[in-house]
């Protein structure tokens, strides 16, 4: 939804879109801040970013044949 709001904010504005979509404007603004300031991300988001790199390396090391179950293990 954040991408949709960004695409249409110039035409409609964040607040009017927020009235129709189930999202508060403050949520949209905070999501944008977290994108520009990684230190504002939650511990879960930081850990997920670290794991994403490890999973990608493991997948590439195994010729991209591992599926979701083997990657999880």
pLDDT at residue 10, as a whole number: 92
pTM value surpassing 0.85: no
Q: Are residues 67 and 55 in the same domain?
A: yes
How many domains, the chain? 2
pLDDT at residue 37, as a whole number: 93
Q: Which two tokens stand for residue 63?
A: 């010729």
Q: Are residues 8 and 29 in the same domain?
A: yes
Q: Are residues 70 and 52 in the same domain?
A: yes
Q: Are residues 46 and 59 in the same domain?
A: yes
CB within 8 Å of 43: residues ≥ 6 apart: none
Which residue range(s) make up the domain with 20? 1-40
pLDDT at residue 41, as a whole number: 92
pLDDT at residue 7, as a whole number: 92
Q: Which residues of the chain have pLDDT under 70?
A: none
Q: Are residues 5 and 30 in the same domain?
A: yes
Q: Are residues 47 and 35 in the same domain?
A: no
């Amino acid at each position: 939804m954040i991408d949709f709001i960004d695409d249409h904010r110039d035409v409609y504005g964040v607040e009017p879109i927020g009235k129709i979509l189930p999202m508060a404007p403050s949520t949209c603004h905070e999501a944008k801040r977290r994108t520009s300031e990684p230190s504002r991300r939650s511990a879960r988001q930081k850990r997920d970013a670290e794991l994403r790199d490890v999973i990608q390396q493991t997948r590439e090391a195994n010729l991209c044949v591992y599926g979701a179950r083997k990657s999880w293990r």
